[in-house]
Structure 1
Amino acid sequence: MSHRVTLQQIAKELGLSRNTVSRALNNSQNVSAETRALIYEKAQEMGYKQFIEPTIDNSSQSNFEIALFTQSFPGSSHSGSKLLEAFQHKINQMGYKFSINIIRDQEIRQLSFPANFNKSHVAGILCLEMFSVDYCQFLCRSEIPMLFVDTPAISKAILPDSDKLYMENFVSTHRLISSLIQSGCRHISFVGDRYHCQSFYERWQAYQLALTDAGIPIDLSLCILADDTSPYSDPNWLCEQIANLPVLPDAFFCANDFLSLSCYKALRFLGKKVPDDTMLCGFDDAPEASLLDPGLTTVHIHNQSMGILAAELLLSRIKNPAIPYRTSYVDSEIIYRGSTKKVLR
């Protein structure tokens, strides 16, 4: 007979109280989305039966649940963290429960729902950090009301029968690159996999257009464009990529702040100072961006507004399935800090 996993064992593994674990597995609003995701992952890993095989809700409305599908649950530094908090608060006000589903490689390969997912209980799905083209298309065929917050690059796939929500990427990136150019930058490097997701691709398109508008040739040899299987978080790898560039760029534009922080570390290892030797900017306005010395110039995403709009879009789709599908954007805002101190704003 297999050993029965208890709440106390899960709590001990995570260093949390038994009450916190119990509240999370019962979808209490008093547990943060990030903590709940950690508990869900551990419960699934340990084979907690009540989690893997949930009891059936016999209430008259059993599909009063909205499910999050994500390949990588956003930590506190990720732009999606505040988005999810606002989203959950909004749907809870409307009487919906919120469940978290971490989609694993096996489910991606098999094009299957996670073991703990009961389609008949779910009114809609919110997809965040879901960039597998095949799996996203599988979800679109499920006939469940679906909202994607960011998507795989549209150049790779079209996702029918779904609503999409993005932060504004193109105008803000174009303005930021243009301000670098107006301040005298001619060699500007783009760092990141431009095909990682649609948002990265839109930032790449804006980067190219800003250079073209200024009459500056696009020089791919100045860019670090390896696909996202490459170890961008490894300073040694990134040091090697920067050292192999034909010249040290006047500025680096990184596709998000995670990449900017990695680039900052690599530049320091190479003995380069920001912004004296080269300027640096990113996208997202992660909490760490303002803590760098100097602070990181970046683009602020209005995550709370995105979370509220995400809830409104999905709830309206649930209520009116026949309305035309929508693609929505929420404006972003450039935040200039010391990493580009010479920039003309």
Structure 2
Amino acid sequence: MSKKVTTHDISLSLGLSRNTVSKALNDHPSITNETKQRVIEQAIAMGYKKVKQFAAAQSQSSEPSPGKPQNIAYITKHQLHHGTGFWMNVMSGVEQVASSGGYELKISFVKNEDIDSLVLPAVLTSGDIAGFIVAGSMDKPYTEKLLQLPIPKVFININPELPLSGLQTDVVFMENEDSIYQITRQLIAAGHRKLGFIGDIGSCRSFMERWFGFQRAHFDAGLSVNPAYCITSASADGFQHYEGFTRSLKEMAELPTAFVCVNDKIALNVIKYAGEIGKSIPGDLAVSGFDQIEEAEFLGYTMTTVAHDEHQLGLRATEQLLQRLSKPGRAYETVRLATKVVFGESTMASVKV
């Protein structure tokens, strides 16, 4: 039996959002006739069973409507579109604001080989977009090439090698440094003196700022950060794959009494490893994360983490782009959305003396 074609399949084949495809198939007035025609033709070609034939759309000229481009491009790394987590929620926020503003969202997933060879997505050179949003940090050379494009743009996170001062673009991300500072100070107050930090701090500014918060907490407490307890080197997978990640933990001469992790996925891997070597959380090892993901709810205890709303991140980034489109001469901004530290049982035990 052949696989049932869905609007998600059509959206991926065209580089449009699923919401745009759905509206096009339902003759929504916010979608241009040109886009409706493209979606209908693709749906028919793919064998989509629910496609409607709209005589009005079929009879309209395929020439683009006069005036300014009414498309916004959403650029992200190819691997980030898998799953339904953080970045899918961000994209949902982007789509919501773009649609309400009368813009259609064109999605482009950039592959690693394109980044390495500095090949820009075709959508950015087509001449029919008003502006674009870059979701997720990319390496410095590729980011610099994106920055050179004379099109209004907003970055959601950015490579940490690029200074924010003098940057000719708007950047939107979550507050990072102070949240990790609070968690680290709480661990120090509980008696921890052997604290470790885990995260690829060179991959994005958010992770780098969390590292800054970890360091500042030590400085304010009159302590030194011990690099032997920290894993901050570059990682192709962001320390997400358990087997490769645990090799770094096994290479430590001794484990610290607490790990501050740049996200919950890493924290969950630390907790899994601790269980395999017979250490309890938080009695033997305190662990904290960042993102408050659903997977942490199945631990049997609460985890110290940082809560935020990634949907709002997408909303705010798109609002920023629309402001840039209407007022191109305004000062560039770096926007940080508020977060909330959630202290849980994973860091609540005092250090054993």
TM range (shorter): 0.7 to 0.9
Counterpart in the other structure of 1:29: 19
| Alpha-carbon offset, residue 97 of structure 1 | 0.5
Asked whether the 8 Å contact 1:231–1:237 carries over to 2, the reply is: no
Aligned with 1:121: secondary structure? Answer: coil
Per-residue deviation, residues 166-219 of structure 1 (Å, max 9, x unmatched): 100011110111011111111110011111110111010110110111111111
Matched residues in 2 for 1:230 and 1:79: separation?
16
| Alpha-carbon offset, residue 155 of structure 1 | 5.8
Q: Cα distance 1:276–1:28, how it changes in 2: closer, same or farther (>3 A)?
A: closer
Asked whether the 8 Å contact 1:191–1:224 carries over to 2, the reply is: yes
Counterpart in the other structure of 1:310: 317
Counterpart in the other structure of 2:5: 17
Q: Paired residues, what number? A: 314
Equivalent AA in structure 1 for residue 5 of structure 2: S
Counterpart in the other structure of 1:60: 66
Counterpart in the other structure of 1:69: 75
Matched, 1:244 2:251: yes
| Alpha-carbon offset, residue 112 of structure 1 | 2.6
Per-residue deviation, residues 148-173 of structure 1 (Å, max 9, x unmatched): 01000146787832100110001111
Superposed, 1:33-44 pairs within 5 Å as: none
Asked whether the 8 Å contact 1:239–1:269 carries over to 2, the reply is: no
Q: Cα distance 1:113–1:289, how it changes in 2: closer, same or farther (>3 A)?
A: same
Matched residues in 2 for 1:331 and 1:57: separation?
44
Computing the radius of gyration from Cα coordinates, the structure with the larger value is 2
Matched, 1:145 2:152: yes
Matched, 1:207 2:214: yes
| Alpha-carbon offset, residue 28 of structure 1 | 5.0
Root mean square deviation of aligned Cα: 3.0
Counterpart in the other structure of 1:120: 127
Matched, 1:160 2:167: yes
Work out which of the residue numbers 116, 128, 131 in structure 2 matches 1:109. Answer: 116
Asked whether the 8 Å contact 1:238–1:266 carries over to 2, the reply is: no
Matched, 1:326 2:326: no
Matched residues in 2 for 1:334 and 1:16: separation?
43
Q: Cα distance 1:175–1:23, how it changes in 2: closer, same or farther (>3 A)?
A: closer
| Alpha-carbon offset, residue 99 of structure 1 | 1.3
Matched, 1:229 2:219: no
Unaligned runs of 5+ in 1: 1-7, 33-47
Aligned with 2:72: secondary structure? Answer: strand
Equivalent AA in structure 2 for residue 279 of structure 1: A
Q: Cα distance 1:342–1:66, how it changes in 2: closer, same or farther (>3 A)?
A: same
Q: Cα distance 1:124–1:16, how it changes in 2: closer, same or farther (>3 A)?
A: farther
| Alpha-carbon offset, residue 31 of structure 1 | 6.6
Q: Cα distance 1:340–1:319, how it changes in 2: closer, same or farther (>3 A)?
A: same
Task: Give aligned-pair identity as a percent.
Answer: 25
| Alpha-carbon offset, residue 235 of structure 1 | 2.9
Counterpart in the other structure of 1:254: 261
Unaligned runs of 5+ in 2: 23-42, 47-60
Matched residues in 2 for 1:102 and 1:197: separation?
18
More displaced stretch, 23-32 vs 156-165: 23-32
Asked whether the 8 Å contact 1:77–1:287 carries over to 2, the reply is: no
Matched residues in 1 for 2:110 and 2:166: separation?
18
Matched residues in 2 for 1:86 and 1:230: separation?
26
| Alpha-carbon offset, residue 227 of structure 1 | 1.1
Aligned with 2:183: secondary structure? Answer: helix
Matched residues in 2 for 1:150 and 1:56: separation?
37
Per-residue deviation, residues 81-131 of structure 1 (Å, max 9, x unmatched): 222212211110111101110112332233232245553111111111232
Asked whether the 8 Å contact 1:83–1:305 carries over to 2, the reply is: yes
Equivalent AA in structure 2 for residue 203 of structure 1: R
